[in-house]
Structure 1
Amino acid sequence: MAFGSVALIIECLTENPSRTAKFTRNVLAKHQAHVTPVAFLFQRKGAVRVAIQEGDDFDARLERLVDTALNAEAEDFEQDEPDEGSMEVEFICQPNALAKLTSAVTAPGVCEELVSNEYIYSPTDKVEPPSDEEAKETLARLLDELEEQTDTLRVWTNLDS
């Protein structure tokens, strides 16, 4: 837990858990954060991100993609702003529906490209980033240092970004 009620889940993969735990605790202490249970602040979800190309029938293809995903147990979706002729759409689902959702949205004629499919930690309540510049910098340095560690796979936060 970092200052300002910023919860962190640090996913690691290591052959030496003692070394990784010690390093992580040292980094947290150095940046005024501490180890405490925060799993209750997150939900495990599935996320599928796909890309669709812009074109003449873009709106119809986007509607077909969203309908297909919702029928395959997607709970929510978010689309990015179009960039360089394509748009990415991310669908969120329960963990047990990830394979079904991935298969449905990657079927021929539904989307052009699967960008990613993974299990994520979704915050139940998001917190605003610190307004103080020094706190923002400290938090950014903390996240950077944690992510630089070779054993760290990913750092999840409950920040509203």
Structure 2
Amino acid sequence: MGRGPSIEGRKNAEDAKRGKVFTKLIREITIATRGGVPDPTLNAALRAAVDKALAVNMPKDNIERAIKRASGADGGAKLEEVRYEGYGPGGVALIIDCFTDNATRTVADVRHALSKHGGNLGTSGSVSFQFTRCGELAFATEGDEAQEEKVLEAALEAGADDVVNEDGESTVLCAPEAFGAVQQALLGAGLHPLHAGVGMRPNNRVAVPEEAVETLQDLLAKLDALDDVSEVYHNALLPTSE
């Protein structure tokens, strides 16, 4: 009989996956630190990046080292934040945010992934008008009307703009500059988000032709696997997994 993957093999795979996530988050912390002050209480972007790192159990020592390194003259490679826009299979609009020390390499990697999956790179502004930058905090509320009501009441009291219930989650929406205050108010109400951050939310989602769904999902996975890519936003209405 064949043997499945060993415990050690699975652990190594999980460690590698976690390492890639940590690398992306450290880059985000670095950019946020250099874009403001090295204090999460005074730098909303840094606070959001630190919260994301803590949510995936990144050790606090790693976070503190990243902030210290980014705020000092350590001679490290200079990172820059770049955004690419384009289209995927089925005409899906894509925004691809990256942190890189070599934009030439990054754009080549992104263009290659798009072209291999029937997509193409667009010009700046070609799809961003279809998205709105906002703060989002998602809470698990599936089948729990009392929890939905609790999230709604706390969000409105915190000054959020809206709450959207979809796919078993209640997503609180707010202005980017209000994200920190809304997040703290919701945490104070005993609500802990599944994920939270400031990003690009599509104004409308578009249906994807059935024959393009698998290709699009593969493209999204390939983009996410690129070391320089931090976030990928799209406006596709994808089928939910059963």
Kindly indicate whether the alpha-carbon contact (under 8 Å) linking 1:51 and 1:113 is maintained by their aligned counterparts in 2: no
Aligned residue number for residue 23 of structure 1: 109
Please tell me the residue identity of whatever aligns with 1:67: E
Aligned residue number for residue 101 of structure 1: 182
Would you say how many aligned residue pairs link Structure 1 and Structure 2?
147
Aligned residue number for residue 205 of structure 2: 126
Please tell me the residue identity of whatever aligns with 1:137: E
Q: Cα deviation per residue 1:26-59 (whole Å; 9 max; x = unaligned)?
A: 111122211112111110010123468xx9xx83
CA distance in 1, matches of 2:195, 2:88: 29
Q: Alignment identity in percent? A: 32
Unaligned runs of 5+ in 2: 1-86
Aligned residue number for residue 154 of structure 2: 68
Is 1:153 matched with 2:230? Answer: yes
Kindly indicate whether the alpha-carbon contact (under 8 Å) linking 1:50 and 1:111 is maintained by their aligned counterparts in 2: no
Higher strand share: 1
Kindly indicate whether the alpha-carbon contact (under 8 Å) linking 1:51 and 1:111 is maintained by their aligned counterparts in 2: no
Quote how far apart the aligned CAs of 1:76 are.
Answer: 2.1
Quote how far apart the aligned CAs of 1:131 are.
Answer: 2.0
Quote how far apart the aligned CAs of 1:127 are.
Answer: 0.4
Please tell me the residue identity of whatever aligns with 1:92: L
Is 1:49 matched with 2:49? Answer: no
Kindly indicate whether the alpha-carbon contact (under 8 Å) linking 2:151 and 2:191 is maintained by their aligned counterparts in 1: no
Unaligned runs of 5+ in 1: 82-87
TM-score (norm: length of structure 1): 0.78
Aligned residue number for residue 144 of structure 1: 221
Quote how far apart the aligned CAs of 1:64 are.
Answer: 4.2
Question: Helix, strand or coil: the match of 1:74?
Answer: coil
CA distance in 2, matches of 1:41, 1:30: 24
Higher helix share: 2
Quote how far apart the aligned CAs of 1:14 are.
Answer: 1.3
CA distance in 2, matches of 1:104, 1:13: 30
Quote how far apart the aligned CAs of 1:113 are.
Answer: 2.6
* 1:33 paired residue among 116, 119, 128: 119
Question: Helix, strand or coil: the match of 1:44?
Answer: strand
